[in-house]
Structure 1
């Protein structure tokens, strides 16, 4: 079955990015035991990622690269925020390197990585961890099937076979 909008796609992937030494290194994988499963065309994946899969069917191998611009965007030096320590109340100040779930003024959820701790503030980088990086994907399409009504109403897939497993 060919990949089409409102179809659930399960796939494996290995994601490579350029390391500091100039070589490509593996940073993330989805395996046959733990595949990536999503509703194609539902806006969950990078648009260019889906575009590269648009002609494929179950059993097909794929390999493609996305520029930083087509992936998570260029690194934005302005996207670093200073959060007042009072914001954390009595909670412990998160350590450098930890990821914080945040919300912007429009209610959009985003992740910020703590990059340093100042005397009265926590400095957080709001760029996606892979901003500014070209992505190299390799993998295989494992399964393609029409999404069921429940999945379409929820806006996400319930696993490779359509059951949520909850």
Structure 2
């Protein structure tokens, strides 16, 4: 069975950047997704089409088809008084920040005096990605999965 819309796909992956540094991996816990519903980044999903169980391939995904380019407006300098209750602020710390767009994760990238610079971009924004993929399962999605827009069961979406 080939991967196409409304198939549930299980795959193992190792994600590396251009320098070959490992960023993420499934490590024996295959990821399940519902094809055609934007469950995974577009640059990877488009390369899964037509693959079958047992296929192994490398998907090169440009940043724009991955987590997007770095958006300068998501990098902001704020007073350290915004981090109440945090004893020591350090570069590299992550916080959940509330904005009019909902909750997103920001990372402290610079601290100068009372000013803290935070970056709200996805950690992999602006990064060209390389996925080593092995397809381990392909099946028809259930009506419920299609209705919900994601895979259920092992490796899928849990409520």
Taking structure 2 as the reference length, the TM-score comes to 0.81
Looking at structure 2, the residues matched to 38 and 153 of structure 1 have their Cα atoms a distance apart, in angstroms, of: 14
Looking at structure 1, the residues matched to 157 and 33 of structure 2 have their Cα atoms a distance apart, in angstroms, of: 13
User: How far apart are 1:2 and its partner, in Å?
Assistant: 1.5
Looking at structure 2, the residues matched to 150 and 87 of structure 1 have their Cα atoms a distance apart, in angstroms, of: 43
Unpaired stretches in structure 1, ≥5 consecutive residues = none
User: How far apart are 1:92 and its partner, in Å?
Assistant: 4.3
Among residues 136, 147, 153, which one is paired with 1:142 in the alignment? 136
Q: How does 1:103-142 map to 2 (within 5 A)?
A: 103-107=98-102, 109-142=103-136
1:71 aligns with 2:66: yes
Looking at structure 2, the residues matched to 100 and 162 of structure 1 have their Cα atoms a distance apart, in angstroms, of: 26
Q: Which runs of 4+ in 1 moved over 4 A?
A: 91-94, 161-164
CA RMSD of aligned residues (A): 2.6
- Aligned partner of 1:48 in structure 2 is 43
1:15 aligns with 2:15: yes
Q: Alpha carbons of 1:82 and 1:48: their partners in 2 closer, same or farther (altered >3 Å)?
A: same
User: How far apart are 1:140 and its partner, in Å?
Assistant: 0.7
SS of the residue 1:69 aligns to? helix
Unpaired stretches in structure 2, ≥5 consecutive residues = none
